[in-house]
Each structure stands twice: as C-alpha cells, then as structure tokens.
Structure 1
Amino acid sequence: MSGEQTKAAGSPSWGAVRSRRLSSEVVTQVMQTVLDRMAPGDWLGSEATLAAEFGISRVTCREAIRELEAKGVVEVKVGADGGIRVAQPQPSRVAEVLAVQMHLIGISHDEIVAVQRALSPVAAEAAAADATEADIAAMVGLLAEQEQAFGDRERFTEVGMRLHARIGEASGNRILAIVLSALDPLEQPAFSTHADTQRSRRVLEAHRAIVDAIAAHDGAAARAAMTEHFEAFGAH
C-alpha cells in the first residue's frame, strides 16, 4: 500500500501528551503498547500521523522515533511504503547491549561466576533433553576446534565461550541463552589470563564430559558435569 497507510481495526490509539519532555512521554506510550499487545512488523504509523495523534510537532515526534529506533523497539523505512513498524527481534543485539550495560555498572567477577554457576548447569541439562543432531554436531566441532587451539590462550578461550553459548542455544530457553551469551564476553579476559596449560587441560576435560553427556541425552550427567566445571573454575 503506497502513501499514508489506512489505520487498521485494532491499531493503537495514541493519547495527546502534555509532559514537560514530550518525546519521553511518546517513547513511554509506544513501549508500553508494544509490550501489551503488538508483534514484530506491526504498523505504528508515519511520522506525520503519529505527530498528529500525539498532538506534538513533527520535530518532537522525530526525536521520540529516533530514541525508539535506538532502543530496538521500532524500525523506520522511507519511500512510498515507508513508515514506522515494530522492530523485528534481534537476540544477539539484546545480549550485546546487556553485556555493555553490565560492564558499565561494574558487575564484578564474583557476581558473574555466581550467575554462571546457577544457570549453566540448568542450560546443560535442558540441552541434553532438547539438543538436535545439528546442535550436537556443532558442539563436537567446537570441542575439536578448542583442542586444536590448545596453547593459544585467546583463541582457546574464545572457542570455549562459543561452546558455552551453543549449549545455551541448545537448551531451547532463549532467556537462558541471551543471559549466558551476555556474560561470556565479560569473563573472557579473566579466562584468557588464567588459561595456563594445566587449567586449559582441565577445561578441555570438563567440556568433553559436558558434550558427551549432552550427546547421550543424559540430563543429570550434563548438569553434574557443568556444575563441577564451574565449581573448579570458582575455586581458582
């Protein structure tokens, strides 16, 4: 449909805003409406129609739209079929933003390890139940890649982080996968710094036990192996 799109039945109805910072009120209203009842790709309107419905200037509306776009809430397209729609999900972006925010607020190493020790065994157990042949093949491949990287601290650590992320994805729980993926880059420098030969060998053995348990679809063994892995890391 070209030009201004017709407002469909069930489309959100915006209320005029009167706060001191109008653009912030627009952002609040749109975010709450998206959370309440909208889906990726849903039509919100054009800059002109939104400005009119909110009772604000197009300049103020544009400011709000830019903030919503920066937050990953909306997507803006130009042209005949352009306008503002609810954004498509980007799980990797959520993890990246979460990692940056945790870094900025000064999350400590002990806090990170505590969460990993709590969540990673849950993810491993779930992965043992839900992992597909493709998931398992990817884990086996990453384990082989980490073995080849033995002696190269940075690469060894980076591949290990990817293995943990793959286990999170295989758990079937997207919240677990996102949170664990966000924690990994925060810990990578610490893992890399302390990845001496002896510890690297223990990490490989632990990863092998975890992958073997997941491949056997043994949830209890996967959980136990992951728990032991993080207890050993916490001890160091």
Structure 2
Amino acid sequence: MTNKARTKSRKLMAVASGSDSGLRSSALAEILQEEIIQGWLSVGESLPSERDLMVQYSVSRATVREALRILGAKGLTEVRRGRLGGSYVLAPSTKTISNSVDLFIQGHDVRFVDLVAVRSAIEPVAAAQAARFRTEEDLAQLNEMLAEADKVIDDIEKFSEWNLHWHLGIVRASQNPLFLSFMTSISSALYSATEREEFNLETRKTVAQAHRKITKAIEAGDADAARRRMMRHVTSYAQELDLSTDVTARALGEAE
C-alpha cells in the first residue's frame, strides 16, 4: 500500500469511527480536499451528491453538509443552483492560500513583530524578482500609484491605503503567487501601523521617496538595487516602530 493510500485509509477510518460529528466532517473534508488537490476531482467537475457521499462514507447528511461547507470556506468548491446544481470544484487560487493564512493569524497569538519580520524576509526578494520579471502593465500601475503620492500625503488614512496598494503592487510584479498570497493575507494588520502617530508628514514624505527609488530600480531591471533599497526601506519602517533589532534577527532566522 502506498503512503497516499495509507493516508486515505486512515482518514476513512476517522470518518467511519469518529464519535464526534465535527471530527467526521473534518475528516471527510480532508479526503475530498486531497482528491481536489491531487486532480482526482477536476476543476469544474461536480462532487458526488449529498446522498452518494452519505452512502459512500456511512455518515449523516449533516456531516456531509458540514464537510462541503468547510471546502467552500477554503475556496475549493462553489455551490451552484438549478437543475444541475451541486458542489463544483474550483481551481485552488492565491485567495485560497491567503484565506488560510488569514485564519491562522486570527486563530493564533501572532505578534506584530512577527508580521513585520515576514515582510522583511519577503519584500526585498519580491522587489528583486519584480526587477527581473515585471511587465509593462506592472510598471504602468506602479508609476500611476507614485503619481498619486502628493494627493494623499497630507491624509494619513489615505496615505496608509496608498502605501498598502503600492507594496502589494511590488509583490504582484514579482510574478510569485505565494508571495502575493502571504502578503495579501497579512497586509491589513501590517499596514494599519502606518496610521500611528509616528508616521507624521515628514515620515510619509520619506516613505514616498523610498517608493520612488525602489520603483526606479525595478523599472531599470536592477534586481540588486531593488533588493537593497527595499531592505533599507523595510528596516527603516521597523525603526520607526522601535522593532528593528528583533525584526532583523527574526528575518535572518537568528532570533531565539
């Protein structure tokens, strides 16, 4: 028996023997999720009907419905109405990953310094990749955002939103969907700090200037300069929040 077969066998046993309906639903959802991820259930294909799943796994309708709800919440299926209605397979997307990370952040005691450390580890690499792989459309969007800087610089709330969109634009230009998923999922909590009083007008002007320099390096295709300038930028951000030492250590994997 292969490892995959053994794993599925254990999950089937969990479905059949679980005394708690929640555990049975979770186990059934894991089986169906595995079939979707492995491609055994194709994108656009309908899952078996509720009745068929009840018979196949010897579970109640409530267990099946909860398992389907779990899959839907993960962005793996959607419910369609009508004569051919049912649960249909969706392609796993960046949103799927982002939702999972967001749920983890909400369900665990993730400290702000850890979020900043993730940013410090990802964004300099993303900036370097953006310099190599950005499209003309990416550049146009980044430059369009830079042109808006002077319009939002005096409004800290609008500046915070502008700052968020620019950073996500850099990550998007890296063409790395995993980077984009992680940064999207932590962005709201992370960039809300730019609304703090430490981000006064002079600081916001410094941030906007850093954005211009990073974008210029990306436009020039200079990956090393883009990485260095982004690292300097995120380090400066941490210093504004008195987090720089801890963040740098964590980003480099040196924290205890």
TM-score of Structure 1 vs Structure 2, range by shorter chain: 0.7 to 0.9
Match of 2:56 in 1: 53
Match of 1:178 in 2: 181
Q: CA deviation at 1:96?
A: 4.9
Identity of aligned residues (%): 30
Tell me the distance in 1 between the aligned counterparts of 2:30 and 2:185. 26
1:90–1:66: structure 2 CA closer, same or farther, 3 Å change rule?
A: same
What does 1:1-236 align with in structure 2 at a 5 Å threshold? 17-19=15-17, 20=19, 21=21, 22-38=24-40, 39-92=42-95, 94-96=97-99, 98-193=101-196, 194-236=198-240
**Alignment RMSD (CA, Å):** 2.3
Tell me the distance in 1 between the aligned counterparts of 2:150 and 2:223. 24
Bigger shift: 27-36 or 192-201?
27-36
Match of 2:250 in 1: none
Tell me the distance in 2 between the aligned counterparts of 1:123 and 1:68. 30
CA displacement 1:155-183 (0-9 Å, x = unmatched)? 11111110110111110110011111222
Tell me the distance in 1 between the aligned counterparts of 2:205 and 2:12. 61
Tell me the distance in 2 between the aligned counterparts of 1:33 and 1:169. 29
Q: CA deviation at 1:196?
A: 0.4
User: Is the 8 Å Cα contact of residues 40 and 89 (structure 1) preserved in structure 2?
Assistant: no
User: Is the 8 Å Cα contact of residues 214 and 226 (structure 2) preserved in structure 1?
Assistant: yes
Q: Helix, strand or coil for the counterpart of 1:186?
A: helix
Give structure 1 stretches of 5+ with no counterpart: 1-13
Taking structure 2 as the reference length, what is the TM-score of the superposition? 0.80
Give structure 2 stretches of 5+ with no counterpart: 1-10, 241-256
Q: CA deviation at 1:67?
A: 2.4
Bigger shift: 116-125 or 66-75?
66-75
- Specify which structure has the higher proportion of helix: 2
Taking structure 1 as the reference length, what is the TM-score of the superposition? 0.86
Which residue type is aligned with residue 121 of structure 1? P
Match of 1:6 in 2: none
